[in-house]
Amino acid sequence: MPSILTFRRGTAAQNDAFTGSAGEITIDSTNGTIRVHDGVTAGGSTVASGALASLDTVDTAQIDDGAITAAKLAPGAASAGLQSQQVYTSSGTWTKPAGINLIKVTVTGGGGGGAGGDGGTNTGDGGGAGATSIKIIDVSAVSSVSVTVGGAGNGGASTSASGGSGGTSSFGAYCSAGGGGGGVQWNTSNRGGYGGTASGGDINITGGDGEQASPHDSSDDGPGAHGGASYWGGGGKGAQSYAFEKAARPGQAYGSGGASGLHTGSTSFPGAPGKAGIVVVEEYA
């Protein structure tokens, strides 16, 4: 069986003559109001019916000292939590909205481009993904912050050229996320396509490495390598073969790496660019 909670009820005159225990509540049936008693004052204190009629919820943030007032019962008296969000896909300035005291920023660098293929030798590495830095910042004394969004690295040309590195993203001096490295063609002595690194955040996430190229000779059909995955998702898919899917795919998620170009016989294809970074600012009261 359900439990039912009831309070003492009476007319205004009866309530006026009654001295309730401290914290006791009675109902004034004449005026449709609630009386809150303190154990001393006859009739207690009346809580305005207008405040109760418009009340949606009351939490401990609104009544943290044991006193019930109209201001604390007013709708919206306590509205903490996520209020708004700003998303930057290009550089700019974050300006604090009214009432915001705390923010959570997620900063991701740009993805690197995939290397180009070489018809006489091999394919190249996929581009690395940009890093991600996540930080919670007290902005009660801050009005604005410069936002930098790292660009995507270019894909390497179809002459075994390396891909370009992605740019660094940052939120003022609070935190930064480096871009992913460009893919490098197989025959070079250096390796490429490494994920970027982050600093300054409460959480710093290294970007995913681009796939390493496979060795081929001038007579075979060599597929391209995939781009590295970022915090937001996967990179570009490497081209399959000359007969089916020739073009390398660019980075798909923000900050992901581009795929490398394939080669077949004497024909080669360019690598694909990565995807630019992103900065997301969640704003809390």
Among the candidates 43, 73, 103, a domain finishes at: 73
Is the same domain home to 106 and 16? no
Q: With respect to residue 107, please indicate whether it lies within any of the assigned structural domains.
A: yes
Same-domain check for residues 153 and 235: yes
CB–CB of 231/108 below 8 Å?
yes
Spatial contact of 185 and 213, defined as CB atoms under 8 Å apart: yes
Same domain, 50 and 127: no
Question: Three-state DSSP class for 213?
Answer: coil
Residues 69 and 157 in one domain: no
Q: Of 54, 73, 92, which residue is a domain's last? A: 73
Can you tell me the distance from the alpha carbon of 134 to that of 284, in angstroms, rounded to the nearest whole number?
Answer: 15
Owning domain of residue 155: 81-285
The C-alpha atoms of residue 123 and residue 92 are separated, in whole angstroms, by 38
Distance CA 282, CA 89 (A): 15
Residues 266 and 237: their CA atoms lie apart, in Å, by 22
Q: Quick: pLDDT tens for 211-266.
A: 877 666 555 556 778 999 999 999 998 776 655 667 889 999 999 999 988 776 66
Q: Where among 18, 46, 73 does a domain terminate? A: 73
Claim to verify: residue 202 and residue 228 sit in the same structural domain: yes
**Strand bridging mode 8-10 / 25-28:** parallel
Pair (254, 207) in one structural domain: yes
**178 and 271 share one domain:** yes
The winner for highest mean pLDDT among 9-23, 91-105, 117-131 is 91-105
Asked if 148 and 246 sit in the same domain, the reply is: yes
Give CA–CA dist 149/86, Å, rounded: 13
Torsion of CA 40, 41, 45, 46, to 10 degrees: 130
115-155 residue pLDDT tens:
987 765 567 889 999 999 999 999 999 999 999 999 999 99
pTM greater than 0.75: no
